[in-house]
Structure 1
């Protein structure tokens, strides 16, 4: 057969294919029934669903996303979505097992034995083990770590001694018995210890990752976590993105594909983005916006309950704030009711002590209601004490013109500081200056004692009054007022260690009365947490001691 004949046959075959169409592999050509011409299905393929990304704002750049080093809500809000402890707070606001499958408590209430779940992994695929918990807790207690929240592990036998340099890490009574079993022995029975294991300082850390890279928590590409979401992007001072952690044991219950946080400290700018549709959820809100939304009965406004106190630190290491009369005079001449009614306008309650409402006492009653009002508004008596205290320090009213109220950048904090400034000008005749700085800068300056008066706030870490009372113990890392009263310290020690509920609550009541007599801090109000939520967002819940939880939120536009 010659080449020309083969070429002709090939051309004829190609022509035939073009005009008849290709026959599916392994089957016959479609048959014509004679009634209607053969057709091709042109139905478009389903469009992939858009990822469900909830967009919101985190008002300040985190100082650290390492559980051992975090110290504020600007960090904990991210950590609470990227990590999980042995226990967690569920949508019913109950403390339930998280990484733990179950636990046992010894008859003397000193030893806790946690059994971990079988299906828990880190975001990089490593198994989460009891060794990670032991490592993380001892790491937070390591004096070289300089963790501000190390005191939350002092309840563990040997914890305080190791952290303060008086003991060894080997004496810290937390031990991984095997990969799935963690044994913890406490110094004294602690009724709220289970709840404490849901707090971010007690989150686990991947031992292998942390030991191989000391800077693992500083950037998204090295960050490893064990919670429902994982850190995927962190553009410092601009934005944070977290995405669903497919290795999370309860991933089937997580509806969102991720959460995008801007980092904008100006509340008005953030509100404009919410109002313009850029955000699905927002907290905090400008005070004027909260007032307007309340007046309009706007269904997007939710007033979240909080166990938290807004207050001013008075630096007792700086004259004249070392004088209790001066401190008391400032407190007695601050009109708290006007601040909550006319300025805060978010349903806050004028403070009557340092411990807010909502915490139970030994009888199951509200601790605050039982203790009563420890703060008095009395301008005449306050001015008398203030002037006496100034004279005792060899100072005059005019000397106060160099004193400064330090607050972190926020329209709300600015307005409250301006109100305090004006009240003290009118009632005491003093001129006080104002200074605003970034939140992390404020925290650092408070720790260094580089301030006169500073705006502060405290959200309870767990549902027991000691979470507030212990703040001003002389050894507390959060005693930014530099307060020191041995009697107060002794009462706090009793409240933290006594197995007798009546004794420990009586100690707390006495301690609060002492601190409110000495007034190293000026409580202003008990918080609420107003937040805005679009109608298509569901599943958000608000624990009393946490920012709103977005873990099980959903978007249905």
Structure 2
């Protein structure tokens, strides 16, 4: 899932002691209210349209899928109280609990899942995450307009029984049913106001532990306990105030004065002291921070000369090798990140139970001599004649600091001039998704614990492929892996796919994420998933 903000960032200015929340008493909240910094205003909180971590955190607290992730990120029963899986692992039958209700009191039915999933793959919806449902029979063909949506392999046998047929064995399918795109939505609610239903509390009808009480643009999303949730008696929080402070220094100042209880973006300069004092902790985070090249035809409209240069794989490899990732994590981000020498990060098991990441595709320190050689072979010795390239990133002190470091490395090591440009998060997402850029930052957090979540996003017809990457051999490897039942053979196909990706170098991996979060000691049992989401259903305040 797309990263909306960099969790490990560099402070460029000193912390400022300003009160950001009118009516807030210094020293934090009383009662069962948590103030959490979401960090940016979500582009959407519609389950089928969202593709970013910030929106997903809202969604997983307001909705319940067939399953829900526990404290170990394993799928457990949620709306589905039990299920049966056929011996060939292609058919799942889910039995829904009869006490699951929507916030308006209506029962959650199997038909709500059918509608939501059909909506996700419907080309008219234009959901970036449609490909996440291609595991379901006919999902891909429907997304490509080759079949009607009612041919999707999901049907309601009755109000409380859902049958799903898959294209191939999918060992992580139960985890997928806890993912935001798989959340149910009500047909009558969505179709009454397709564009605005997920923007207003009165129409944001949900079925999870919390419901939307208020949305103050560019300020806060207020969630409150949902009394209709089947486990409502276990929810201790009354309110979650999700603030939208993008400036990390401001967020830290608010945390220190007690106006925020939980932030995930402490400035890098402050991290050593925050960790030493215990104000901050390091949480595991399954994701990769990287840069991307625009290889689509649209790049020529943005900058013909730059587009021509980056289409040469030798140029892309030269840029990759001219970057010292070790220096970036040690001197810029300072949050214990690991230099990325592959796209799939550490922490995902292979078929043998060991880590999937078994090789370094390039040195963490880079290889400047090889980079210079490749650039010269491409026709730009010492950077002569190389066009100026614009690198865009969403507004953030951390993203800016990394971009400046890379700008300096490419100038010093290759003689390449990089111009930097920042955009507000919503604008940046649109720019990147519409491929109106040449070089841009990106970040990806796993949607489930399997290498596929990092690799299938780059197949040529994926809604997440904002690079415009197109390699038929790569597509074949991913397609074959999705149909392969033998775990060892499936993983081998994924290794071969990553080999192709790293040889083509359409992207530049920089580091594997860690999550540094500052949490008040009176905040208990908040679950920060390695997948990026923050779950509050078990959280409470203890003072």
Q: Shared fold (TM-score greater than 0.5)? A: yes
What's the CA shift string for 1:22-72, capped at 9, x where partnerless? Answer: xxxxxxxxxxxxxxxxxxxxxxxxxxx954110021111111111010010
SS at match of 2:493: helix
Match of 1:185 among 119, 140, 165: 165
What's the CA shift string for 1:382-437, capped at 9, x where partnerless? Answer: 11112322449xx9635433x11111111111111111111111101112111111
- Structure 2 distance, partners of 1:313, 1:427, is 20
1:511 aligns with 2:492: no
Q: Which runs of 5+ in 1 are unaligned?
A: 1-48
Contact 1:60 1:438 in 2 (8 A): no
Deviation at 1:358, TM superposition (A): 0.7
Deviation at 1:311, TM superposition (A): 0.1
Contact 1:84 1:99 in 2 (8 A): yes
1:272 aligns with 2:272: no
Match of 1:380 among 355, 369, 377: 369
- Structure 2 distance, partners of 1:416, 1:469, is 24
Which residue is equivalent to 1:18? none
How many residues are matched? 502
SS at match of 1:177: strand
Contact 1:312 1:453 in 2 (8 A): yes
- Structure 2 distance, partners of 1:397, 1:284, is 39
1:335 aligns with 2:316: no
Which residue is equivalent to 1:466? 452
- Structure 2 distance, partners of 1:276, 1:399, is 49
Deviation at 1:277, TM superposition (A): 0.8
Contact 2:380 2:386 in 1 (8 A): no
Question: Given the superposition, is the C-alpha separation of residues 83 and 262 from structure 1 closer, same or farther in structure 2, using an over 3 Å criterion?
Answer: same
Which residue is equivalent to 1:428? 414
Structure 1 segment 4-15 matched on structure 2, within 5 A: none
Which residue is equivalent to 1:201? 181
Which residue is equivalent to 2:467? 481
1:287 aligns with 2:287: no
Contact 1:541 1:550 in 2 (8 A): yes
Q: Which runs of 5+ in 2 are unaligned?
A: 1-28, 297-306
Which residue is equivalent to 2:436? 450
- Structure 1 distance, partners of 2:403, 2:392, is 9
Taking structure 2 as the reference length, the TM-score comes to 0.90
Contact 1:375 1:516 in 2 (8 A): no
- Structure 2 distance, partners of 1:550, 1:84, is 13
Match of 1:152 among 132, 140, 155: 132
Question: Given the superposition, is the C-alpha separation of residues 160 and 77 from structure 1 closer, same or farther in structure 2, using an over 3 Å criterion?
Answer: same
Deviation at 1:77, TM superposition (A): 1.1
Which residue is equivalent to 1:233? 214
- Structure 1 distance, partners of 2:378, 2:201, is 52
Which residue is equivalent to 1:313? 292
SS at match of 1:477: coil
Question: Given the superposition, is the C-alpha separation of residues 212 and 432 from structure 1 closer, same or farther in structure 2, using an over 3 Å criterion?
Answer: same
Match of 2:335 among 320, 327, 346: 346
SS at match of 2:387: helix
1:256 aligns with 2:237: yes
1:550 aligns with 2:536: yes
Which residue is equivalent to 1:12? none
Contact 2:383 2:416 in 1 (8 A): no
Deviation at 1:500, TM superposition (A): 1.9
Larger CA Rg, structure 1 vs 2: 1
Taking structure 1 as the reference length, the TM-score comes to 0.88
1:74 aligns with 2:54: yes
Deviation at 1:498, TM superposition (A): 1.4
Deviation at 1:336, TM superposition (A): 0.2
Q: More displaced, 317-326 or 282-291?
A: 282-291
The alignment's C-alpha RMSD in Å is 1.6
Question: Given the superposition, is the C-alpha separation of residues 390 and 179 from structure 1 closer, same or farther in structure 2, using an over 3 Å criterion?
Answer: farther
Match of 1:358 among 347, 360, 365: 347
Deviation at 1:158, TM superposition (A): 1.2
SS at match of 2:128: coil
